[in-house]
Structure 1
Amino acid sequence: MAPPPSGLPARQLALPLPLLAGHDLADLLEDASNAAALAWLRRPADWPGGRLALFGQAATGKTHMLRGLAAARGWPVLEGLALRGWPAVPPGEGLALDDADCAPEEAALLHLLNLCAERGQAVLLAGRDPPARWAVTLPDLRSRLRAMPAVAVHPPGDALLSALLRRHFLLRQLRVERPLQDWLLARLPRAAAAMEEAAARLDRAALAAGGRVTRALAREALADLPGFGPGPEDDDSMASRRDACPDGPSLL
């Protein structure tokens, strides 16, 4: 491979291609928000009746966990929104159903659970609420859902979000000083997906600008990111406070 042209930083030759989003359980960082769920996922043989449901708000990592376990064990993954009629259920040790609470037909979900029970297949579900609270009308389905063990996946805490943001920067070989990382965390949505999206946007912006990541660049690159906003104290308000202070010693 030819060396980069003289005077051109090697980083500018990198193509701003999106990183492939994998679902590997080993990639999940553990904290109090997901520790209980990860403990259950490590021992499928202990699931009561071979069933387990993950539940929690959007962007808490449920899909990553569900697909990570499915990939590790070779289970097929089905989508709740596509579950209709008499769904084809591939044979095997188990299967995973994402957005299970969005299945448009109750009979289809009941058929899937019954067929898996007959075959002795394990089933992992994911949804916003625990299955016992799903609005179903079929008595047989309601009883099966109420008997299913469920574990909550909570929104990630500050330590986990910080670690995720650092990981995404490292994956992209993007150098961002720690004070700027803290500044970003105070302004980004409290979701794991937001850390990945922010890193991708900053990477593209830094490549286009041919320079380092600064607060000004971050403001511009993330301005239209849903949920991105001013932190507890933005720079403009800090500057205004300094200007309003009388001359003399200052702690700012």
Structure 2
Amino acid sequence: MTLPQQLPLPLPVRAALGREDYFVSGSNALAVALLDGWQSWPAGKLILVGPAGAGKTHLAHVWAADCGATILPAAALPQVDIPDLAEGPVCIEDVPQIAGDRPAEEALFHLHNLALAQHQPLLLTAQTAPKHWQLSLPDLCSRMEGTQTATLPEPDDALLAAVLAKLLADRHCVPAPDVIPYLLRHMRRSFGMAQKVAAALDAGALGRPKGMTRTLAREILLAVDPRA
């Protein structure tokens, strides 16, 4: 009797965001230490800067779990009760997305002032430093540019290996033992590329009897990163 062929079904991606899931290496240790020392932030505020995929949201969740903070995207600020929000620790993500949005910028300015007045810590995240945000409200711009920043640079080898392993684990993928070492030798070192490679590996491994092999990794790199 011939058994019907089982169709591969992609499983949902569920990012693990606990402290135990965040790998600390030489490249991100300073930023992690600054977040861990949130009680000592100048004026009680900090901006976490890093490229897409650097782990800003992950670190924000670790920090929020430590101090009981609320996490919100900046674009949602006009729809929330700012005085109520400012009564506890707050993380506002992707601040540059509200550049030119007057109601959102005014809401952030109000939140900033209330949080500082009530001695509540305020964490903000962005891909670039405040001087590049192009905020239209001068008072908000000056306060953001006067805020201490913690920067997550592109990963070193140890961190990139951990990021690849985590991205694949989030996708329920189990690569062959030589896949990640091969990728480290040949791929460009960036968080964005790691995300692209992990997604392509996940898709490419579906329906392959041998699963996620070095041969597949080579094919994927040639497709998503021809310069590798």
**Normalization by structure 2: what TM-score?**
0.77
**Cα deviations across residues 22-80 of structure 1 (Å, max 9, x unaligned)?**
32233211123211110011121111111011113322222221233123432111112
Deviates more, 1:109-118 or 1:185-194: 185-194
Query: Which structure is richer in relative contact order (CA contacts within 8 A, separation 6 or more)?
Result: 2
User: Residues 195, 145 of structure 1: CA spacing in aligned structure 2 closer, same or farther, 3 A cutoff?
Assistant: closer
Report the CA distance between 1:193 and its aligned residue.
5.4
Offset, 1:113: 0.8
Task: Label 1:192 to 1:26 Cα distance change in 2 as closer, same or farther (>3 A).
Answer: farther
- Contact kept? 1:188, 1:229, Cα under 8 Å: no
Give yes or no for contact 2:60–2:91 (8 Å, CA) kept in 1.
yes
Aligned AA for 2:44? G
- Residues 62-73 of structure 1 mapped to structure 2, 5 A cutoff: 62-73=56-67
C-alpha contact (below 8 Å) 2:8/2:207 kept by paired residues? no
Of the candidates 17, 20, 23, which is equivalent to residue 14 of structure 2?
20
2:113 corresponds to 1:114: yes
Cα distance, 1:83 vs. partner?
3.3
Cα offset for 1:197?
5.2
Residues 133, 195 of structure 1: CA spacing in aligned structure 2 closer, same or farther, 3 A cutoff? closer
Change (3 A) 1:175 1:219: closer
Counterpart Cα distance in 2 of 1:202 and 1:135 = 37
* Candidates 65, 70, 75, aligned match of 1:76: 70
Post-superposition offset of 1:93:
2.8
> Please, which of 220, 225, 229 is the counterpart of residue 226 of structure 2?
229
Q: 1:37 maps to which residue?
A: 31
What's the counterpart of residue 49 of structure 2?
55
Q: Distance between the aligned counterparts of 2:186 and 2:110, measured in 1?
A: 45
Q: CA deviation at 1:102?
A: 2.0
Provide closer, same or farther for how the CA distance between residues 222 and 72 of structure 1 changes in structure 2, counting only shifts above 3 A.
Answer: farther
Structure 2 unaligned runs (5+)?
1-5
Q: Percent identity?
A: 34
| Gap regions ≥5 residues in structure 1 | 1-11, 232-252
Q: Separation in 1 of the partners of 2:138 and 2:202?
A: 52
Residue 208 of structure 1: SS of its match in structure 2? Answer: coil
SS at the partner of 1:209?
Answer: coil
User: How big is the shift at 1:100?
Assistant: 1.2
Encode CA deviations 1:193-243: one digit per residue, 9 max, x unaligned: 543553454345435122243344335556654xx2252xxxxxxxxxxxx
Aligned partners of 1:18 and 1:200 also within 8 Å: no
For residues 124-176 of structure 1, the C-alpha deviation after alignment (integer angstroms, 9 at most, x for no partner) is 00112333554345343233223311121111112211233244556746241
